Amino acid sequence: MPGGQAAQRPYGSKGLDRHRAAALELADRSPVLAGLVRAAGLPKLTPPLATHFSALVRSVVFQQLAGKAAAAIHARLLQALGADVSPEAVLALGLDGMRAVGLSASKAATLADLSRKVLDGTVALSPRLLARQADDEVVERLTSVRGIGPWTVHMFLIFQLRRLDVWPAGDLGVRRGYGLAWKVPMPSEKQLLALGDPFVPYRSVVAWYCWRAAELYAGTANDTLAR
């Protein structure tokens, strides 16, 4: 969308949150993103969960699972915890209790390790502390937990902490959506890393539109974490 066409936008920028304002700026930079803004609208992210710990628990549950299956397991886990999603409650439920709601042995071990590391201070989830940490530092600290890799932390950064410049190049939906939107073969993770450079400092918003492109152009449903 050339700069001279900015007045024809269907949305004004005044009063918008950072993600929506970023989407309009990206639409000015890229005709592809301008088309996605028209087709999908401005970003609408689900509200963050009540605690950072509960957000990480949900991200772990959703790792490598289809959205509906992950949502069902997550709902059973919440029921087993009595909606008390805390490190203490997870450890009290135990590995067997987590396995009983449908979690794999590896994910149950991940949640147990996360809970222990939060309680002993190895992983600090204080909102004030996290607000002072750069994205790379958050990734480094959280990936010290067994079974938590970059994807889980990227989802946490984008949807819980609302960081604007996270680029989950390893996410299949982002890779697929990028290829469909830009009409190129689906890029590899390494290729997508470089393809995100022109969109700094708003790569989280570009990722959101890649997920939408996968839905719009291929009918590929993304899990609820990608909203």
Residue 15 phi/psi, 5-degree rounding, is 80, 0
> Does the pLDDT of residue 226 top 70, yes or no?
no
90 and 186 in a single domain? The answer is no
pLDDT of residue 220: 61
**Global confidence as pTM:** 0.85
SS3 of residue 40 by DSSP: helix
SS3 of residue 34 by DSSP: helix
CATH classification of the domain holding 28:
1.10.1670.40
Query: Is there a contact between 132 and 124 (Cβ–Cβ < 8 Å)?
Result: no
178 and 201 in a single domain? The answer is yes
Give residue-wise pLDDT tens across range 76-130. Answer: 999 999 978 999 999 999 999 999 999 999 999 999 999 999 999 999 999 999 9
122 and 67 in a single domain? The answer is yes
38 and 75 in a single domain? The answer is no
**Catalytic amino acids?**
171
pLDDT of residue 67: 76
Q: Whole-angstrom distance between the N-terminal and C-terminal Cα of the chain?
A: 25
37 and 63 in a single domain? The answer is no
60 and 156 in a single domain? The answer is yes
Cα separation, 62 vs 57, whole angstroms: 9
pLDDT of residue 16: 55
56 and 27 in a single domain? The answer is no
- Of 136, 160, 184, the residue at which a domain comes to its end is 160
Give residue-wise pLDDT tens across range 38-72. Answer: 999 999 888 899 999 999 999 999 988 777 889 99
58 and 156 in a single domain? The answer is yes
- Of 111, 142, 160, the residue at which a domain comes to its end is 160
Radius of gyration over alpha carbons of the chain, in Å? Answer: 19
pLDDT of residue 11: 41
77 and 129 in a single domain? The answer is yes
The total number of structural domains in the chain stands at: 2
Residues spanned by the domain of 24: 3-45+167-226
Cα separation, 58 vs 107, whole angstroms: 11
149 and 196 in a single domain? The answer is no
- Of 160, 194, 218, the residue at which a domain comes to its end is 160
User: Which whole number is the average pLDDT over 5-12?
Assistant: 38
DSSP assignment, residue 156?
I
CATH classification of the domain holding 68:
1.10.340.30
60 and 146 in a single domain? The answer is yes
219 and 125 in a single domain? The answer is no
H-only helix segments in 82-224: 87-100, 105-119, 127-132, 135-142, 150-155, 172-182, 189-195, 203-218
Give residue-wise pLDDT tens across range 146-182. Answer: 999 999 999 999 999 999 999 999 999 999 999 999 9
pLDDT, averaged across the chain = 89
